[in-house]
Amino acid sequence: MREDYKMDRLARLYLNEIVARHGVLISIILDHESRFTSRFWQSMQDVLGTRLGMSTAYHLQTDGQSERTIQTLKDMLRACVLDFGGSWDVHLPLVEFLYNNSYHSIVRYAPFEALYGRKCRSPIMWAEIKDRLKAAHDRQKSYADKRRKPLEFSVGDYVLLKVSPWKGIVRFGKKGKLAPRFVGPFEIIEKVGPVAYRLDLPEELNGVQDTFHVSNLKKCLADPTLQVSLDEIRVDAKLNFVEEP
């Protein structure tokens, strides 16, 4: 704001740059500059509902927060001019960005976060978000690992084999989540690697690969002679089943 700005231009500048961007202020502390003590300025602020406070003449500590802010901005601009050269006004937008996203002990937030309720997006924030996402993923994985118990079977054990119903298919009069998810039991005839087993499958499943990952198997604790019948269903090579109408 230039010192030669007239009151009407100052009013438009205030409405366009302050009120339009940030809303009506609750209070303003001003010095005794003649434009701010004018009846026009005071009447406008009275209409807007903004309380005006005047600092004590020749005592800058009355408006200590503003004075500290001005001093901080001067120091930042001075550092930019010394490091990068050029005029101070070229660096002003960058200094404004840095200041508004720096932690302030008075409000315990950065000004941007205090005003908008969220942190400003910046390259530094993207790195922080990435770290947080990784930490959350690692935390969820640790929870899952604690709950997951390694399954081990022996040759001769009987297991149930997991199958997946096609969408909309009815099996045993049930749909979706209520339909049985396992068939068998089948005998394990060989352990293939640390987490895979070969099963003795019946003729009805001759199109299915007979080696399965442990996650597709469930230990059969009932009488192996009591089987989920395969007569009513047709299971394809991907272990999807279709019930005949």
- Please indicate, yes or no, if residue 60 is contained in any of the structural domains: yes
Is residue 156 within 8 Å of 147, Cβ to Cβ? no
What is the per-residue pLDDT across 97-107, written as a single tens digit (0 to 9) for each?
888 888 877 77
The vertex-15 CA angle with 11 and 20, nearest 5°, equals 175
- Please indicate, yes or no, if residue 146 is contained in any of the structural domains: no
Whole-angstrom Cα distance, residue 96 to residue 209?
66
- Please indicate, yes or no, if residue 166 is contained in any of the structural domains: yes
Whole-angstrom Cα distance, residue 155 to residue 100?
68
Identify the pLDDT of residue 6.
80
What region, left, alpha or beta, does residue 85 occupy, with left being phi > 0 and alpha being psi -120 to 50 degrees? left
- Please indicate, yes or no, if residue 99 is contained in any of the structural domains: yes
**Residues 70-74, mean pLDDT to the nearest whole number:** 80
- Please indicate, yes or no, if residue 38 is contained in any of the structural domains: yes
Question: Tokens in use for 185?
Answer: 């039991």
Q: Is the pLDDT of residue 142 over 60?
A: yes
Q: Is the pLDDT of residue 190 over 80?
A: yes
- Give residue 28's domain range: 7-116
Give yes or no: residues 91 and 182 share one domain.
Answer: no
Number of domains forming the structure of the chain: 2
What is the per-residue pLDDT across 50-67, written as a single tens digit (0 to 9) for each?
888 766 544 455 556 677
Listed residues 116, 133, 149: the one ending a domain: 116
Give yes or no: residues 107 and 165 share one domain.
Answer: no
